[in-house]
Amino acid sequence: MTAITDDAAPLPAGALVTVIGGAGFLGRYVVEAVARAGYRLRVVSRHADSALFLKPLGDLGQIQMVSGDIRSDADMASAFAGAAAGVNLVGILAESGQQKFAALQAEGAGRAARAAATAGAVAYVQMSAIGANAASTIPYARSKGDGEQQVQAALPQAVVLRPSIVAGAEDQFFNRFAAMARLSPLLPAISGNSLFQPVYVRDVADAVVAGLTRSEARARIFELGGPDVLSFKAILEMISDLTGLDRPVVGFSDFTSAMLAKLGDILPFMPMNSDQLAMLKLGNICAPGMPGLADLGITPTPLSAFLPQMMMRHRPGGRFAKPMAEPAA
């Protein structure tokens, strides 16, 4: 039986917050931000040992690691037992083996939210993505949209966050193309005019804390983007420049892009697969009028504040490389 919760009830100080999928790129920043806000954490991942690196992010005993699978009712019930709040960060960019969009991002999201509701959680944050749409023909977007609906059905007070491309030191977007630039004589601008609005990972983590703690955020959807709106081609040019590799950015036709994406369906080292290409063509910017970071009390961080330093590791010579020349006036 689902417990009845007060949608407006505040999250008690020092309460236990369960974070599903906390061992990933975004997870480490979310765990750090929630711990810094003074809450206890139960971090759930498929293998608890993989999350041990999170321990130093909190005080002694503040962060607990447990093993659990979002595809298991029993694991989710155990994960949320005694928790006052929950955060679901589970998501994949490509399917492999038993890791399927529907199982993780739709059914799994609903399962976690129902377990949180049964435990009496007063606050909950579901990490989704810009473009989420339960009616979409794109499996990734459809599973994200379906997941949102299942979470909202189980926990009407849940906060849904839809970030654009999340950027940070360990990301798999800027770093992936920077690594490609080191190996390839060119950078492929597949659907180069598509727009992105990269958002800094620490801003997203702060948005999670705001979603848990701000009563005015309850039962709302927020789209999270940074202050920079750039085409995919412009982003690749920026990566080429900041890495000092000066790789030409080459636009590809729709036909060539589709062929490369089909190769990506079977070869993991390709820049993208068919599903990702379809999402790319839709663009990845916040919809006009949608609540965003500012509505959660967060000032978006520009790329210039962290990307140059982040790209330094990809420069020939790394941080010991010759300083970049100042642009001509």
Q: How far apart are CA 141 and CA 47, in angstroms?
A: 27
Which range has highest mean pLDDT (26-35, 254-263, 266-275)? Answer: 26-35
For the chain, report the end-to-end CA distance as a whole number of angstroms.
68
96 — pLDDT class (breaks 50, 70, 90): confident
Alpha carbons 72 and 92: distance in angstroms, whole number = 17
Residue boundaries of the structural domains of the chain: 16-167+199-224
pLDDT in tens, 6-64: 556 899 999 999 999 999 999 999 999 999 999 999 999 999 999 999 999 999 999 99
DSSP sequence for 46-81: SSGGGGGGGGGGSSTTTEEEEE--TT-HHHHHHHHT
pLDDT value of residue 328: 47
DSSP output for 209-235: HHHHH-GGGTT-EEEE--S--EEHHHH
Average pLDDT, the chain: 92
225 has pLDDT over 80: yes
Q: Which residue has the higher pLDDT, 272 or 177?
A: 177
**CB 174, CB 310: distance < 8 Å:** yes
| pLDDT > 90 fraction of the chain, expressed in percent and rounded | 80
Pairing of strands 230-231, 221-224: unpaired
Rounded CA-CA distance 117/100 in Å is 24
Q: Can you give the pLDDT at residue 319? A: 66
Q: Beta partners for 20?
A: 44, 88
Is the per-residue pLDDT at 329 higher than 60? no
Q: DSSP assignment, residue 23? A: T
- Which region, left, alpha or beta, applies to residue 19 given φ > 0 means left and ψ of -120 to 50 means alpha? beta
If one compares 321 and 140, the residue with the highest pLDDT of the two is 140
Q: What is the CATH number of domain 16-167+199-224?
A: 3.40.50.720
Beta partners for 251? 189
pLDDT tens profile 143-179:
999 999 999 999 999 999 999 999 999 999 999 999 9
Please determine, for residue 322, whether its predicted confidence score (pLDDT) is greater than 90: no
Q: Which residues of 109-136 are buried (b: 16+ CB within 10 A; e: fewer)?
A: bbbbbbbbbbbbbbbbbbbbbbbbeeeb
pLDDT of residue 321: 60
pLDDT for residue 117 is more than 60:
yes
Residue 196 is predicted with a pLDDT of 96
> What was the pLDDT predicted at 1?
35
Q: Is the pLDDT of residue 107 over 90?
A: yes
Mean pLDDT over 125-141 rounds to: 96
Give the Å distances, CA to CA, from 324 to 144, 240, 290, 327: 41, 12, 38, 9
